[in-house]
């Protein structure tokens, strides 16, 4: 008896120990594709819950279907059939017949596809649509077979374009009982709900105002979510529609403000409606009789959908993530939640959420995007501990105020943050340190201004030594350019650039750099100075006719030119106005021009920095610091390389190997053809071989995400970079009296106001702002 | 009397509660903001904020401009309203129309009036047109220190009516029989003015003086509409400073500036109060 009691006690203790894990066991990440650099190789196209599991259709490097049985960690993968190119070749009568897949859907225990049979002739085509096939998974492949589902009435789905027909596409399709429901857009932009009965093939059409999300509701009804931007504070309305009589009942309104409500789902078991907002899943009763209650976190960013599985679980899927979350409000939720108020849609936060919650099973993370950053200082003064982490622009007045008043928690105590800080470039360390402590971590750094295409400059016979070193020299150099460019066909700037945009871009560049210049210690903070006045007067004297910069037309600021239809060929200009100061994955050919304001000082390259910091009143400051340390590892490559000086290894383009392999195959193919070719065909195949060789060499040389040259070039100018701090000029323009100031600004660009008047006006206001203090 | 006081409490309590909640408590509570640094530690700094604000150039500019504008606007308003009230007091049959219309500017919204004012004082507006007809060079009224002229005129135009009404009621409350007796006794107009009119009008005059200064101290709306939070220097008032500090949530500087100004106003009104008492004694022949 005693032994039995002991065993029972042991079992009870073991169960108690497992309880939190078991209670949290329903939270699962089925699929998460790391997408730091915008390339993941895999995208989730759609998810279809069926009895016993879920089917996931994926695209990207491979197209296929994955089946995750309930509780299974790993999926079984099936490849979709490749398109048979020969099917698209016209027959002897000039017609082509092929099958087009319109949509997939999950129903009962199977996966189905809707296909159209299209017969296309030289002058018209016919569509016989709505055929339903069942997807049969066998031997690693998906085969489509005929099934008992009758052909759907596709009449309403065909659009006639005068001889040519097209099929509308099913958007946001859902299955409710034996019905397939989807939103379709007609030619006039009207929104229609198409409801197909899968047992009879019958189709019903209901015109609506358009829905932003929908799901199957109780008793065959449809739940819809629609934004209403006309209200003073944007809201989303949740409505229940009865397709029988097309009546609608409003269930609830959700205040969305700057956020997006989505992921509408219905829990038939517990009569609840779910939606996601601000990083959480909220539940309301199906009759809307009570306030919404947060039931779980939702780490997916971007667009996603949701559907309720059994056992109070909700399935969420976005482009790179599929998650299951437990929605039982009575379960033990995570021990603590890290709340992040993300004002600037910070890079890497969402990715870090997955890493952090995987590493810390007792934590959840809720990210609220957007919002009014004016309230942050008020929150600090009220000692508000609601948010643990904030993100802001470094040059914002809010960050400046928080920094000057000490409302930024010390991150130096976290070893990972400290270690990462030690590896940063000096310009970054200087920005993030105050009085010996680390006050924030960087989330993004970027800056761009004028650059010069060195290839073009060398073609003109120019050398690096001849390039201007100061702004003064720049304008003199600009005046000498017409002579150098004559007859070369190289334009100075993009050919769509007008005089207005040239002038305002140069003006903005000068002012931005000047602001960074005067922010440095020892320089007078004034705008109405001889340096700036002289430069703007030189800008006034630029000879646009000689430089071939076109005039403004009807007050337009310039736009893209239509090279295709005009027959003109694009000519790469000498100067590029959007050359990045930081490392960029975009393979532009321009080098930034580092221009000084006078010979005795270094050039300054202002950059914009976004940062994240910990609320000093946070009750989870250590965890927040740990989260931020992880954030820095999840930054995009170009950002990491622009921040950390120890990153010197170039990174290949993710498609490099794949492309190189394919090119090698084609080259081999071409060589074989060359060996077997007749005399007449030899030259053609020789050309093909050369072409593939050149392509491989070009791929080898240029397929870099982060190239060795970009790293070297950045290292040489890193000491010139300076994160812009509190920006008086932009604050001036955005303040309540900003319209007056903006008029003056525009007046200068349009030559109605002199440089002296503009700088004098800026100076007066800026000096007043500075003297007031912050 | 005690019983009457008890009956009075239910009537005065709501007003007193509001006054306490929205004036006295914030007034006292604001003192805490003015003696702390507003940082994360929120350290007590004593009178450091007062010294910092007092030495701040923009505060000094705002204070100086506020006092200058008040010293221009308040006396002008006082004199003009007295003269106009006296005139209206004499135009009895048709006076009702004028008495009603003189209050109209006070009731009109400032923003609407300002648009018209800006049009009048525009470089090509009617005022400059009139000046050019008179052979005077056009003036850029909306820039620099010249902007004070339209602001002062707008202030006078807007606030005249209320002060006129106060003076007019004071004048009308003087019994006609006093003037009749004085005339019968051979008193001149000047003697009647100094012996009858002024002594009986002084309390109302004191009120008008207070109102004039208070209204002058509050010149801000119109300036803000024209020049934003950072208008031309001659029009940057203390209100601009406090408004900008409030916008930056620098409650320390806002409250400190407010208390400094309150102290100055207290001294000023103290001077006015004693002046009034002294004037009354002199006019009543007590001194």
SS (H, E, C) A120-141: ECCCCEEEEEEEEEEEEEECCE
- Phi/psi for A29 (5° steps) reads -100, 110
Q: Which of B38, B228, B236 sits opposite A736 (nearest CB)?
A: B228
Residue contact B228–A772, C-beta within 8 A: no
Mutate to test the interface with A, among B29, B33, B38 (most CBs of A within 10 A): B38
For residue A208, list its beta bridge partners.
A191
Residues of chain B contacting residue A772, judged by C-beta atoms under 8 Å apart = 56, 58, 241, 244-245
**Is there a domain that residue B86 lies in?**
yes
Chain B residues within 8 A (CB-CB) of chain A? Answer: 38-41, 56-58, 224, 227-231, 233, 236, 241, 244-245, 248-251, 253
Give every CB contact of residue A62 below 8 A, 6+ residues apart in sequence: A42, A79
Q: Which of residues 402-421 of A touch B (CB under 8 A)?
A: 405-407
Give every CB contact of residue A665 below 8 A, 6+ residues apart in sequence: none
Q: Which residue of B has its CA nearest to A740?
A: B227
Angle at A553 between CA A547 and CA A558, to 5 degrees: 70
Per the model's pLDDT, the better-predicted residue between A131 and B87 turns out to be A131
Which residue is it, tokens 């409606």?
Answer: A273
CA–CA distance, B179 with B188 (Å, rounded to integer): 10
Residue contact B40–A401, C-beta within 8 A: no
- Quote the minimal CA–CA distance from B213 to chain A in Å: 26
Q: Which pLDDT score, from 0 to 100, does residue A720 have?
A: 92
Residues A201 and A152: beta-carbon distance below 8 Å: yes
Domain boundaries of chain A, sorted by first residue = 30-206, 211-333, 356-445+610-643, 448-580, 656-702
CA–CA distance, A568 with A564 (Å, rounded to integer): 7
Which residue is it, tokens 């008495």?
Answer: B99
Residue contact A378–B241, C-beta within 8 A: no
> What is the DSSP annotation of A603-665?
--EEEEEEEEEE-TT-TTHHHHHHHHHHHHHTS-HHHHHHHBTT----EE-TTHHHHHHHHHH
Mutate to test the interface with B, among A734, A740, A772 (most CBs of B within 10 A): A772
Residues of chain B contacting residue A738, judged by C-beta atoms under 8 Å apart = 228
The parent domain of residue B261 ranges over 23-107+160-283
Contact A772/B at CB under 8 A: yes
Exposure class string for A542-564: b at 16+ Cβ within 10 A, else e = beeebbebeeeeeeeebeeeeee
**Is there a domain that residue B133 lies in?**
no
Q: Which of A378, A616, A769 sits opposite B249 (nearest CB)?
A: A378
Overall residue count recorded for chain A in this entry: 774
- Quote the minimal CA–CA distance from A407 to chain B in Å: 5
In 3D space, the residue among B164, B33, B158, B142 whose CA is nearest the CA of residue B91 turns out to be B164
Q: Which of A397, A737, A773 sits opposite B228 (nearest CB)?
A: A737
Residues B137 and B57: beta-carbon distance below 8 Å: no
**Is there a domain that residue B189 lies in?**
yes
Long-range residue pairs from A33-41, CB within 8 A, at least 24 positions apart, any chain: A33/A320, A33/A321, A34/A320, A34/A351, A35/A320, A35/A351, A36/A348, A36/A351, A36/A634, A36/A635, A36/A636, A36/A637, A37/A585, A37/A636, A37/A637, A37/A654, A37/A705, A38/A636, A39/A654, A39/A655, A40/A320, A41/A654
CATH assignment of the domain containing B272: 1.10.3720.10
Q: Which residue of A has its CA nearest to B225?
A: A737
Residues of chain A contacting residue B144, judged by C-beta atoms under 8 Å apart = none
In 3D space, the residue among A217, A218, A219, A221 whose CA is nearest the CA of residue A206 turns out to be A221
Contact A716/B at CB under 8 A: no
Q: Which of B41, B58, B253 sits opposite A768 (nearest CB)?
A: B58
Residue contact B230–A405, C-beta within 8 A: no
Q: Which residue of B has its CA nearest to A397?
A: B248
Residues B40 and A616: beta-carbon distance below 8 Å: yes
Residues of chain A contacting residue B224, judged by C-beta atoms under 8 Å apart = 736
Q: Enter the CATH code of domain A356-445+610-643.
A: 3.40.190.10
Residue contact A768–B230, C-beta within 8 A: yes
CATH architecture designation of domain A211-333: 6 Propeller (2.120)
Q: Which residue of B has its CA nearest to A383?
A: B40
Q: Which residue of B has its CA nearest to A399?
A: B248
Residues of chain A contacting residue B231, judged by C-beta atoms under 8 Å apart = 737
Contact A378/B at CB under 8 A: yes
CA–CA distance, A759 with A721 (Å, rounded to integer): 25
Residues of chain A contacting residue B250, judged by C-beta atoms under 8 Å apart = 773-774
Residue contact A740–B227, C-beta within 8 A: yes
**Is there a domain that residue B7 lies in?**
no
Q: Which of A406, A732, A735 sits opposite B41 (nearest CB)?
A: A406
Q: Is residue A94 exposed (0-12), middle (13-18) or buried (19+ Cβ within 10 Å)?
A: exposed
Residues of chain B contacting residue A735, judged by C-beta atoms under 8 Å apart = 228-230
Mutate to test the interface with B, among A613, A762, A768 (most CBs of B within 10 A): A768
**If you ran DSSP here, which 8-state letter would residue B196 be given?**
I
In 3D space, the residue among A645, A639, A687 whose CA is nearest the CA of residue A667 turns out to be A687
Q: Which of B57, B233, B249 sits opposite A381 (nearest CB)?
A: B249
Q: What is the pTM of this model?
A: 0.81
Q: Which of A377, A732, A764 sits opposite B249 (nearest CB)?
A: A377
Residue contact A773–B244, C-beta within 8 A: no
Q: Which of B40, B224, B230 sits opposite A769 (nearest CB)?
A: B230
Model confidence pLDDT, tens digit, residues B154-184: 899 889 988 998 998 998 888 888 889 999 9
Q: Which of B56, B227, B230 sits opposite A773 (nearest CB)?
A: B56
Q: Which pLDDT score, from 0 to 100, does residue A559 have?
A: 47
Residue contact A401–B249, C-beta within 8 A: yes
What's the farthest any 2 CA atoms get from each other in chain B?
77
Residue contact B251–A774, C-beta within 8 A: no
Residues B212 and B159: beta-carbon distance below 8 Å: yes
Residue contact A771–B249, C-beta within 8 A: no
CA–CA distance, B243 with B250 (Å, rounded to integer): 10
Classified as helix, coil or strand, B27 is: helix
- Quote the minimal CA–CA distance from A774 to chain B in Å: 7
Q: Six-digit token pair at A33?
A: 């594709």
In 3D space, the residue among A729, A726, A730, A724 whose CA is nearest the CA of residue A766 turns out to be A729
Residue contact A772–B251, C-beta within 8 A: no
Contact A733/B at CB under 8 A: no
Q: What is the mean pLDDT of each run of 10 residues along chain A (774 residues)?
A: 50 38 59 73 83 84 81 80 60 78 86 90 87 89 90 90 84 88 82 92 88 89 88 87 90 84 91 91 92 88 86 88 87 83 89 88 86 87 93 91 93 96 96 95 91 90 90 93 88 89 90 85 82 92 90 57 56 88 77 88 90 96 96 93 95 88 93 90 91 93 88 92 78 58 80 86 85 80
Q: Which pLDDT score, from 0 to 100, does residue A16 have?
A: 39
Q: Six-digit token pair at B264?
A: 């100055």
Q: How many domains does the structure of chain B reveal?
A: 1
Which residue is it, tokens 């090509």?
Answer: B124
Q: Which residue of B has its CA nearest to A761?
A: B232
**Is there a domain that residue B141 lies in?**
no
**Is there a domain that residue B11 lies in?**
no
Q: Which pLDDT score, from 0 to 100, does residue A733 have?
A: 61
Count the helices and strands in chain A (H runs, E runs).
20, 39
Residue contact B244–A771, C-beta within 8 A: no
Residues B105 and B114: beta-carbon distance below 8 Å: no
- Quote the minimal CA–CA distance from B237 to chain A in Å: 12
Classified as helix, coil or strand, A160 is: strand
Residues of chain A contacting residue B246, judged by C-beta atoms under 8 Å apart = none
Q: Can you list the positions of beta strands (E) in A318-455?
A: 321-326, 336-342, 363-369, 389-393, 433-434, 437-438, 441-446, 448-453
Q: Six-digit token pair at B212?
A: 């004039």
Calculate Rg over the CA atoms of chain B. 23
Q: Average model confidence (pLDDT) for chain B?
A: 87
Angle at A666 between CA A665 and CA A670, to 5 degrees: 120
In 3D space, the residue among A427, A468, A711, A446 whose CA is nearest the CA of residue A574 turns out to be A468
Contact A753/B at CB under 8 A: no
Residues of chain B contacting residue A377, judged by C-beta atoms under 8 Å apart = 249
CA–CA distance, A738 with A730 (Å, rounded to integer): 9
């Amino acid at each position: 008896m005693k032994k039995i009691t002991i065993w029972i006690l042991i079992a009870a203790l073991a169960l108690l120990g497992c309880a939190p894990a078991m209670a949290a066991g329903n939270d699962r990440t089925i699929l998460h594709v790391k997408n730091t650099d915008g390339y993941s190789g895999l995208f989730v196209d759609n998810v279809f819950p069926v009895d016993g599991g879920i089917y996931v259709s994926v695209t990207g490097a491979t197209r296929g279907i994955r089946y995750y049985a309930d509780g299974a960690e790993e999926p079984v993968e099936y490849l979709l059939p490749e398109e048979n190119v020969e099917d698209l070749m016209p027959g002897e009568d000039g017609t082509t017949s092929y099958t087009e897949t319109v949509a997939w859907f999950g129903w009962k225990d199977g996966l189905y596809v809707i296909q159209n049979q299209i017969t296309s002739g030289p002058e018209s085509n016919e569509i016989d649509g709505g055929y339903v096939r069942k997807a049969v998974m066998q031997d690693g492949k998906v085969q489509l077979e005929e099934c008992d589902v009758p052909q759907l009435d596709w009449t309403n789905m065909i659009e006639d374009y005068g001889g040519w027909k097209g099929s509308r596409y099913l958007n946001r399709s859902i299955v409710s009982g034996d019905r397939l429901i989807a939103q379709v857009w007609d030619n006039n932009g009207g929104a229609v709900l198409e409801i197909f009965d899968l047992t009879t093939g019958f189709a019903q059409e209901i015109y609506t105002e358009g829905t932003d999300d929908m799901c199957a509701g109780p008793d065959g009804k449809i739940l819809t979510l629609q934004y209403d931007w006309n209200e003073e504070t944007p809201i989303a309305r949740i409505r229940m529609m009865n397709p029988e009589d097309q009546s609608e009942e409003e269930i609830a309104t959700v205040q969305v403000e700057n956020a997006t409500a989505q992921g509408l789902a219905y829990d038939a078991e517990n009569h609840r409606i779910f939606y996601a907002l601000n990083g959480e899943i909220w539940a309301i009763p199906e009759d809307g009789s009570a306030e919404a209650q947060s039931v779980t976190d939702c780490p997916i960013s971007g667009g996603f959908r949701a559907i309720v599985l059994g056992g109070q679980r909700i399935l969420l899927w976005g482009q790179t993530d599929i998650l299951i979350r437990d929605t039982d409000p009575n379960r033990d939720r995570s021990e603590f939640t890290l709340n992040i108020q993300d004002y600037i849609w910070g890079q890497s936060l969402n990715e870090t959420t997955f890493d952090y919650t995987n590493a810390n099973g007792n934590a959840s993370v809720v990210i609220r995007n957007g919002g009014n950053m004016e309230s942050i200082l008020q929150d600090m003064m009220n000692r508000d501990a609601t948010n643990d982490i904030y993100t802001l622009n470094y040059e914002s007045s809010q960050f400046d105020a928080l920094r000057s008043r000490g409302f930024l928690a010390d991150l130096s105590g976290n070893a990972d943050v400290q270690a990462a800080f030690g590896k940063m470039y000096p310009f970054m360390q200087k920005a993030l340190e105050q009085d010996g402590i680390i006050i924030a971590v960087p989330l993004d750094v970027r800056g761009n201004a004028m650059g010069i295409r060195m290839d073009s400059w060398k073609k003109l016979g120019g050398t690096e030594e001849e390039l201007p070193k100061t702004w003064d020299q720049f304008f003199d150099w600009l005046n000498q350019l017409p002579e150098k460019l004559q007859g070369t066909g190289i334009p100075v700037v993009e050919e769509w650039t007008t005089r207005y945009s040239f002038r305002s871009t140069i003006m903005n560049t000068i002012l931005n750099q000047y602001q960074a210049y005067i922010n440095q210690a020892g320089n007078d903070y004034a705008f109405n100075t001889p340096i700036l006045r002289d430069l703007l007067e030189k800008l006034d004297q630029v000879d646009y006719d000689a430089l071939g910069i076109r005039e403004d037309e009807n007050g337009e600021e310039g736009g893209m030119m239509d090279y295709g239809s005009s027959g003109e060929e694009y000519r790469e200009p000498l100067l590029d106005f959007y050359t990045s100061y930081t490392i960029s994955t975009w393979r532009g050919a321009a080098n930034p021009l580092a221009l000084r304001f006078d010979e005795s000082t270094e050039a300054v390259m202002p950059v914009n920095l976004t940062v994240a910091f910990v609320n000093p009143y946070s009750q989870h400051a250590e965890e927040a610091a740990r989260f931020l340390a992880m954030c820095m590892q999840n930054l995009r490559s170009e950002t990491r390389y622009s921040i950390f000086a120890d990153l010197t290894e170039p990174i290949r383009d993710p498609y490099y190997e794949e492309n190189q392999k394919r090119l090698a195959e084609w080259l081999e193919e071409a060589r074989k053809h060359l060996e077997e070719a007749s005399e007449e065909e030899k030259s053609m195949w020789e050309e093909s071989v050369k072409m593939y060789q050149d392509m491989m060499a070009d791929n080898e040389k240029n397929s870099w995400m982060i190239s060795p040259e970009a790293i070297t070039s950045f290292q040489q100018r890193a000491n010139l970079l300076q994160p812009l701090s509190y920006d008086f000029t932009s604050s001036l323009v955005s303040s309540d009296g900003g319209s007056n100031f903006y008029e003056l600004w525009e007046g200068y660009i349009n030559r109605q106001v002199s440089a002296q008047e503009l700088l004098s006006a800026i100076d007066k206001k800026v000096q007043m702002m500075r003297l007031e203090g912050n | 009397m005690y019983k009457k006081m008890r009956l009075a409490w239910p009537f005065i309590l709501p007003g007193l509660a509001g006054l306490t909640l929205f004036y006295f408590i914030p007034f006292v509570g604001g003192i805490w903001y003015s003696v702390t640094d507003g940082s994360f530690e929120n350290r007590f700094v004593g009178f450091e904020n007062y010294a910092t604000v007092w030495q701040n150039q923009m505060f000094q500019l705002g204070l100086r401009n506020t006092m200058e504008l008040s010293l221009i606007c308040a006396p002008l308003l006082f004199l003009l309203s007295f003269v106009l009230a006296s005139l209206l007091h004499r135009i009895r049959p048709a006076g009702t129309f004028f008495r009603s219309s003189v209050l109209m500017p006070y009731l009109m919204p400032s923003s609407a009036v300002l648009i018209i004012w800006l049009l009048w004082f525009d470089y090509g507006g009617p005022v400059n047109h009139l000046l050019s007809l008179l052979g005077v060079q056009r003036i850029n009224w909306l820039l620099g220190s010249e902007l004070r002229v339209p602001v002062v005129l707008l202030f006078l135009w807007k606030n005249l009516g209320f002060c006129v009404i106060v003076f007019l009621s004071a004048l009308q409350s003087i019994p006609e029989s006093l003037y009749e007796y004085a005339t019968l006794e051979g008193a001149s107009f000047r003697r009647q003015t100094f012996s009858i009119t002024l002594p009986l009008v002084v309390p109302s005059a004191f009120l008008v003086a207070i109102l004039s200064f208070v209204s002058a101290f509050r010149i801000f709306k119109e300036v803000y509409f024209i020049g934003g939070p950072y208008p031309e220097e001659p029009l940057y008032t203390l209100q601009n400073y406090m408004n900008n500090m409030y916008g930056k949530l620098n409650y320390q500087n806002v409250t400190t500036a407010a208390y400094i100004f309150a102290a100055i106003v207290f001294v000023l009104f103290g001077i006015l109060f004693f002046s009034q008492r002294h004037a009354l004694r002199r006019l009543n022949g007590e001194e």
